[in-house]
Amino acid sequence: MTISKLNFTKLCLLLLVITSCSHQKVVAQKPNILFIFSDDAGYADFGFQGSKDFSTPNLDALAKTGVKFTQAYVSAAVCGPSRAGLLTGKYQQKFGFEENNVKGYMSSSSRYLGDKMGLPLNQVTVADYLKKLGYKTAVFGKWHMGHADEFHPLKRGFDEFVGFRSGARSYWAYNDEDPSGEIEKYLEYGFGKYNEQPEKYMTDILADETVAFIERNKERPFFAYLSFNAVHTPMEARKDDLEKVPTHLTGRRRTLAAMTIGMDRAIGRVLNKIKELGLSKNTLIVFSNDNGGPSDTNHSSNHPLSGTKANHLEGGIRVPFLMSWQGVLTPNTIYNNPVSTLDLLPTFVNVAGGNASQIDGLDGVDLLPFVKGEINEKPHKTLFWKKENRAAVRHNEWKLIRFPDRPAELYNIEEDISEVNDLASEKPELVRELYKKLFEWELTLDRPLWQLKRLYEGKAAERMDNHRKPKIKK
């Protein structure tokens, strides 16, 4: 009798172990998600986008393994709002995140907010959703969703954070005196200070930490958001990368090319870790950029697009976009319909086993059925952009840009990618129709939670006008 009880106990323990292992196996089979985001890169400044001067062999190889999107958009032409949109899957104007959040801004009631600006706490992030679905979540690099502790990544669904809270900082280590009191520019590990080494370049640090995170979590599903500050100013590159740049490139353009080399090398290290661990068939990889390249500050090129960062011409809002998943997405695929970084949240949630259709208020869609050919229609017939009185709407092939100080402009984007042939005077009925769509959308938005100081606001408008249509290269 004693032996029978003992055997029965052993049998129960064995079944418990088998069940536990089976459960762990099911959890581990969920796809990993790696999202790589560059900062202020030019539309044309990648090999896979046609550049002959900028060396990006690792991203070029990634492009060949999956889908390259030719009409990918961000939801804003500047860093902060663009990131708020992709993290929530909603037009960020719906919750008042219309401007960049940096010190020196004012609220809509002209009340100084200091560092109390960030992604509203009632908004749910993609990391929140993925964490509930059993994912280990982490962000490495630029956050820019608020400086105060209440907006910190560890309070917005992320388990780990190695990065900085502000929108830009040096690529080299700060000492204890510099920057004075600006904690948002220091590199952090969680809520603690990261031990920056003087010889370590920021782009390499972020790759190191991402690789380590992947290694630690290879047995469970993970979401890694690698948010480079490259190639945002300040213009700082490694000396050995500068030596690799073609000699005909000079000044900031030369430094930018070197910074791009460094970023591509860092991306290659992360991608190689995925391959080394045998995770390629179980990892969705996405690469994109947060807004158009600022041709004035870092001398990026958005060719053949007109416009630059901070305006609503294509050069301010159309971005490089790659998606790869071995065995799921067909290699060397070109997808030509308009998509948006708003689509990242629903795509990631559905990949993780959730149901994005049950999330209220999303403006993005799951892209996988479209790129796999399961849905033949366009993911978006209509897309919107707005900052202050400036706004734009794209409906099918037509795009209307509204200005506060001049008549609206109308372009056929499919036929005129460089936006050089304004057809507004020829198609007044279409102008009215698109204005109506824009007005109806604006009725769904909240008031901006903060806005630029008036002095800076004027300079921003002047900057946008001066770079409205850079000369198109032949």
pLDDT tens digits for range 370-380: 999 999 999 99
Q: Give every CB contact of residue 308 below 8 A, 6+ residues apart in sequence.
A: 292, 293, 294, 295, 296, 302, 315, 316, 467, 470
One domain, residues 293 and 398: no
Q: Is 64 helix (H, G, I), strand (E, B) or coil?
A: helix
One domain, residues 313 and 355: yes
One domain, residues 314 and 417: no
**Domain residues for 140?**
30-380+448-466
pLDDT tens digits for range 387-397: 999 999 999 99
Instruction: Compute the distance between CA of residue 402 and CA of residue 14 in angstroms, rounded to an integer.
Output: 68
One domain, residues 95 and 227: yes
Q: What is the CATH number of the domain that holds 72?
A: 3.40.720.10
Contact assessment for residue 209 and residue 273, using Cβ atoms and an 8 Å cutoff: no
Dump the DSSP string for 342-363: GGHHHHHHHHTT--GGGSTT--
pLDDT tens digits for range 181-228: 576 788 999 999 999 999 999 999 999 999 999 999 999 999 999 999
pLDDT tens digits for range 419-441: 999 999 999 999 999 999 999 99
Instruction: Compute the distance between CA of residue 313 and CA of residue 101 in angstroms, rounded to an integer.
Output: 22
First-last CA distance in the chain: 91
**Does a structural domain hold residue 2?**
no
One domain, residues 302 and 425: no
pLDDT category of residue 27 using cuts at 50, 70 and 90: very low
Q: What is the CATH number of the domain that holds 426?
A: 3.30.1120.10
Q: What is the mean pLDDT of the chain?
A: 90
One domain, residues 332 and 407: no
Contact assessment for residue 307 and residue 467, using Cβ atoms and an 8 Å cutoff: yes
Average pLDDT over residues 313-319: 98
Instruction: Compute the distance between CA of residue 55 and CA of residue 100 in angstroms, rounded to an integer.
Output: 31
One domain, residues 288 and 425: no
